[in-house]
Amino acid sequence: TVLNRLYDDFLAAYNKHKREIGALDFLDLEEIAVEILQSDQSLIPVDYALIDEAQDLNPVQWKLIECLEAKGIPIFMVGDIQQSIYGFRHADVELFYDRSQMAAGGKGKEILLPENWRSRKTLLNFVNGLFERAWTEEGKVSFLCLKGEYPYPEYRSEEHTSELQSH
């Protein structure tokens, strides 16, 4: 299509310009890191790796993790499929889901955290009801309802309003 040709032309010009001025973008850095880690000479001066927001990693970043694992580095990941928001940056939540299934199947350990300590139960009940219906239409991944665990005092708007007015 015309749009694909325009994109290909832009990408070729962009890469040519980067070479001319000796510049690298973030994707270049990720790909170079993978190449370095895949080489037999690469030394990794870390004992463990912690990956936060793993649901938002793209395939190149997952390749980096695989390279670290191949070097014998234990990986600890934190993520929440329900919070994946970076699809526009090529994040692939399916790769995180596959990894969580591997952990649940014995190649690691999956720990679910359904408790929410930051939100009131009334809000969580509303959000759970709203998203549980939308989420189950997607199919593969079950929706994890969050439970409000912090004993917030009940909110009363009249008390709050008069309290604010008295100050």
Instruction: Give residue-wise pLDDT tens across range 7-21.
Output: 999 999 999 999 999
Q: How far apart are CA 104 and CA 19, in angstroms?
A: 44
DSSP 17-45: HHHHHT---HHHHHHHHHHHHHSTT----
What 95-98 contacts at long range (C-beta under 8 Å, 24+ apart), as own/partner pairs, is: 95/57, 95/59, 95/62, 96/54, 96/55, 96/57, 97/140, 97/141
pLDDT of residue 137: 55
Q: How many CB atoms lie within 10 A of CB 34?
A: 16
Q: Which amino acid is at 24?
A: L
pLDDT per position as a tens digit, 113-128: 888 888 888 888 898 8
Say what the pLDDT of residue 8 is: 96
